[in-house]
């Protein structure tokens, strides 16, 4: 029983650490908020502001996920040139697998960002007038475009049966879609947007003032979600490897029969 428990802990160690950090961070935010150590611009919406810590972290993690997918897809084509080398074949599969799984996790984070962002701004900015969506908001609209773009990647990939063709075309599409990531970020800067920007200057209007304490909590939360990201991608890769091995075994048995 003890050995099984130890094995379970080792297998899910990253998940345990990330959940523990998130719970600690949440309790820290609630405690500091309760004692008014974190000063908000609108105290009556103090609890709603807690969402923003997770909203920002989710957005950053989605950008990280799509960034890793870009690098993975580029490396896929790099190793594809040396496909005759056995080591390159193995790396080729791994890079394509990592790129796809990073997009899967990135879609989860970007969906989370869209939901929490709508809740936050509807409750605090007053600009939405109890409407959770405005197409005139450049950041919100471009984030939706980002989500739909990478969702189309998974749909497109699922429609191709040939594995080699699937890997090649999906990797190319993953590279082509990446510009939607920086465009989503800078849209609030270069276009009209209700999205406030984080600023260390308390006298600056149109932004959310964040002091050192808030930034510490934000980065702590970001670390926890990054660990969670690594855990999920690692397990998705393991599942894909197991699936590929099972398919090979089935094909061999079919040939033998």
Question: Structure tokens of 218?
Answer: 């934000």
Which SS3 state, helix, strand or coil, does residue 209 take?
A: strand
For the chain, what are the domain ranges? 15-34+42-242
Which SS3 state, helix, strand or coil, does residue 198 take?
A: strand
The number of residues making up the chain comes to 257
Residue 174: predicted pLDDT: 94
Which SS3 state, helix, strand or coil, does residue 207 take?
A: strand
pLDDT values of the chain reduced to their tens digit, one per residue, 257 residues: 455 545 555 566 767 777 777 777 776 776 666 556 666 555 556 666 778 788 888 999 999 999 999 999 998 888 777 655 555 566 778 888 999 999 999 999 999 999 988 887 777 665 556 777 777 788 888 999 999 999 999 999 999 888 888 989 999 999 999 999 999 988 877 776 666 666 655 555 555 666 777 788 888 888 888 888 888 898 888 888 888 788 778 777 777 76
Question: Structure tokens of 71?
Answer: 């690098």
178 close to 66: Cβ distance less than 8 angstroms: yes
66 close to 99: Cβ distance less than 8 angstroms: no
Quote the pTM value.
0.81
């Amino acid at each position: 029983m003890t050995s099984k428990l130890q094995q379970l802990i080792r297998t899910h160690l990253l998940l345990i650490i990330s959940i523990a950090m998130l719970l600690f961070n949440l309790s820290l935010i609630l405690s500091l908020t309760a004692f008014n150590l974190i000063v908000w611009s609108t105290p009556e919406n103090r609890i709603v502001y807690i969402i923003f810590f997770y909203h920002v972290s989710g957005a950053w993690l989605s950008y990280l996920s799509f960034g890793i997918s870009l690098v993975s897809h580029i490396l896929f084509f790099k190793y594809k040139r040396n496909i005759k080398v056995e080591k390159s074949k193995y790396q080729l599969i791994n890079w394509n697998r990592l790129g796809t799984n990073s997009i899967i996790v990135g879609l989860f984070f970007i969906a989370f960002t869209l939901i929490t962002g709508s809740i936050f701004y509807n409750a605090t900015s007053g600009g939405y007038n109890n409407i959770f969506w405005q197409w005139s908001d450049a950041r919100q609209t471009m984030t939706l475009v980002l989500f739909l773009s990478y969702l189309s990647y998974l749909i497109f990939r699922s429609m191709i049966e040939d594995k080699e063709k699937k890997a090649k075309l999906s990797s190319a599409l993953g590279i082509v879609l990446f510009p939607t990531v920086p465009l989503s970020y800078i849209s609030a800067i270069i276009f009209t947007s209700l999205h406030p920007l984080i600023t260390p200057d308390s006298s600056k209007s149109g932004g959310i003032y964040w002091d050192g304490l808030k930034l510490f909590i934000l980065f702590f939360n970001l670390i926890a979600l990054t660990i969670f990201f690594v855990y999920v991608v690692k397990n998705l890769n393991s599942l894909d490897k197991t699936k590929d091995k099972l398919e090979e075994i089935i094909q061999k048995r079919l040939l033998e029969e």
